[in-house]
Chains A and B, each alone.
Chain A
Amino acid sequence: MAPLLQVDNLTIRFPRAEPVGNLSFEIEQGETLAIVGESGSGKSLTALALMQLLPRAAKIANGHITFGGRDLTKLDAREMRHLRGREIAMIFQEPMTSLNPVMTIGRQIGEVLKVHEKLSGKAARERAIELLRLVRIPAPEKRVDDYPHQLSGGMRQRVMIAIAVACKPKLLIADEPTTALDVTIQAQVLDLLDTLRRELQMAVVLITHDLGVVAQWADKVVVMYAGRKVEQALPGDLFNDPLHPYTRGLLAASPRLKHDFHYRDGALTEIPGSIVSAVGEAGCPFRPRCNQARASCSHHVPQLIVPAADRLVACPFTTSLKAVPHAAALSL
């Protein structure tokens, strides 16, 4: 069976930059794919590209996004609107500003139902109350008439989730859904997302820079650096045996995982330099920050290779035992 969403060689270009290059990944129905990377790695732009909501200056220069057998990059505005909110939904990083301050949350939830399911005002309100209950908001009959400023950040993000799942989408894109929230609320919101994923049989693209989130909730992980996929693996494999130097750096810098993995005894480290150093570099984008860089790294962008089953990595000098070229792997 074809995957629900397949991204092939996606390249996003600004007039003077290429924030996402040759990115490919796929998601099966009901699966959670985590895209991990630091700010500026192109993960949010990738999410917006899936929604076809890129900023005006950004263009999809190359590649295909196939969703349910249709190439989203070829749909016209009307067809795409038909999918947004109904089959593909998205929640954003900032619950404080992502809701309209002058509209009750009930009407904001109801709006998406009115647009896609042509519900009447009354029916939409009923459904909004149900949805508020679904996202575990207490006293939904009262809350439905509240304005966003009357709710806490966690509650607002639940409202955002209610809006996103209102039409039972097949794919939910969550762009850093918990970054702006208190640590105690983060787990609750992610648990809710995961429960809803199972109940509604949605696939979830979870965009995050938090490896703790990945370890707990993802089925599959894509690590991005400077707009490129540098590693892909199942979470267990990734944490037990990270292959790309960047992934290793990320794990070493991540405090929450240390009791689980073999970094437990080492001190927390940070990756020297910043992602800005990748701009305008030929060759491997991570080379300026990599402690294993060799002269050949600056010649060309490393190909993705398949070091083991269900794994991809974009570094030829990885410590893995068996390396098979990417092209050969695809034919398997």
Chain B
Amino acid sequence: MPALLRIARTLRRTLLQAIPTVLGIVILNFFLLQLAPGDAADVMAGEAGSATAESMAALRSRFGLDNPVLVQLGHYLNNLAHFSLGFSPRYGMPVADLIAQRLPGTLTLMALALTIAILLGVVLGSLMASFAGRIPDRLLSIFSLLFYSIPSFWIGLMLIVFFSVKLGWLPSGGAGTIGSRLTGVPAILDKARYMVLPATSLALFYVAIYARLTRASMLEVKNQDFVRTAYAKGLTPFGVTARHILRNALIPITTMAGMHIGGMLGGAVVVETVYSWPGLGRLAFEAVMGRDFTVLLGILLLSSLLVIIANAAVDIIHAWLDPRIGAR
């Protein structure tokens, strides 16, 4: 299959290019960790209330905090090679496990938000493009610019006021009804109820971006010759849009979706704190409050990897959507 070959070639190139980036990020991460004021021993000692110099030193040597910087970097790299992100004294568990626990929550939230954003954005953008310059387009343009300007944490709080406090339709936080023994479809529905508001808050900003991007992209594709060919074949306007315009217009949109994974992760941090959603963002917030920099930098490193993986995925989608890519 030529399509598969194209995709495999793209994937190889992407991964090769990612290697120096990953290395750079790892080293940057390590030095940020060194810059952090105090270390985990300080924090633990502070929490315990009293600590002698000896117990502090013992803690430090136990976690290897008293070695020279380069030795620590060596340890760090060695640990990473073994998929270990270090140990969080505060949670009493390896950082990797801690992150693995929280990662699915964030990924679900982001996936849902991204789906909402792309679907809604593409639909609105197509509407704007088909009414370009007329009233519906102008109205939607202003709305999209407004969505673009609203902080996600604030819209999150406003949605809570409206949908949970005033109307009582949806829960205001958490990830599921505590103590419920639901299974199967009802359990999924229960989870979904908890996800609606956080995912919407996270998605709105991106709805605006995708709507604007889709509009511009569709307007550009619409004037191309092959669209006229499609009309000359006797296709309906819907057929032309769905089969010819949209797929070509989607190519720049996938690029953008890839670029937004990192931004969305950042957005998830804020939204998760608003909704007490048990994900990476909430963990990051707790780590900041507890000055637990091992956890914080573990999250930074892991989310960077996530971005790289997402970019690779986008490249693959790209290669699948656009047959010209593999040929180059």
Contact = CB atoms under 8 A, between A and B. Distances in A.
Interface in A189-228: none
B243 A111 contact: yes
Interface string B221-237: 00011101111111110
Contacts of B234: 81-86, 112, 115-116
A112 B233 contact: yes
Contacts, number: 75
Q: Choose among A53, A89, A103 the residue with the greatest number of B CB atoms under 10 Å from its CB.
A: A103
A51 B232 CA distance: 7
B26 to A, nearest CB: 38
Contacts of B33: none
A98 B236 contact: no
Interface string A154-198: 000000100100000000000000000000000000000000000
B244 interface: yes
Contact of B324 (A81, A89, A98, A147): A147
Given A84-B232, A92-B232, A94-B225, 9 more contacts: A84-B231, A85-B234, A86-B234, A98-B229, A101-B248, A101-B322, A102-B323, A115-B239, A145-B2
A102 to B, nearest CB: 5
Nearest to A84: B234
Interface string A50-64: 010100000000000
Contacts of B232: 51, 53, 84-85, 89-90, 92
Given A115-B239, A145-B2, A98 B225 contact: yes
Contacts of A94: 225
Given A85-B234, A115-B235, A116-B234, A99 B2 contact: no
B130 to A, nearest CB: 12
A81 B239 CA distance: 12
Interface of B: 2, 224-226, 228-236, 239, 243-244, 247-248, 251, 321-324, 327
Nearest to A90: B232
A97 interface: yes
Contact of B327 (A103, A112, A150, A163): A150
Overall SS of chain B's interface: helix
Q: Choose among B229, B231, B244, B247 the residue with the greatest number of A CB atoms under 10 Å from its CB.
A: B229
Q: Choose among B233, B243, B251, B321 the residue with the greatest number of A CB atoms under 10 Å from its CB.
A: B233
A100 interface: yes
B236 A149 contact: no
Given A53-B228, A98-B225, A102-B248, A81 B323 contact: no
A111 B248 contact: no
Contacts of A92: 225, 228-229, 232
Nearest to A160: B229
A97 B243 CA distance: 16
Given A53-B231, A149-B324, A150-B327, A101 B236 contact: no
A104 B247 CA distance: 13
Interface in A81-133: 81-86, 89-90, 92, 94, 97-104, 111-112, 115-116
Nearest to A83: B234
Contact of B233 (A97, A101, A111): A111
Given A53-B228, A115-B239, A163 B323 contact: no
A97 B248 CA distance: 13
A201 B322 CA distance: 38
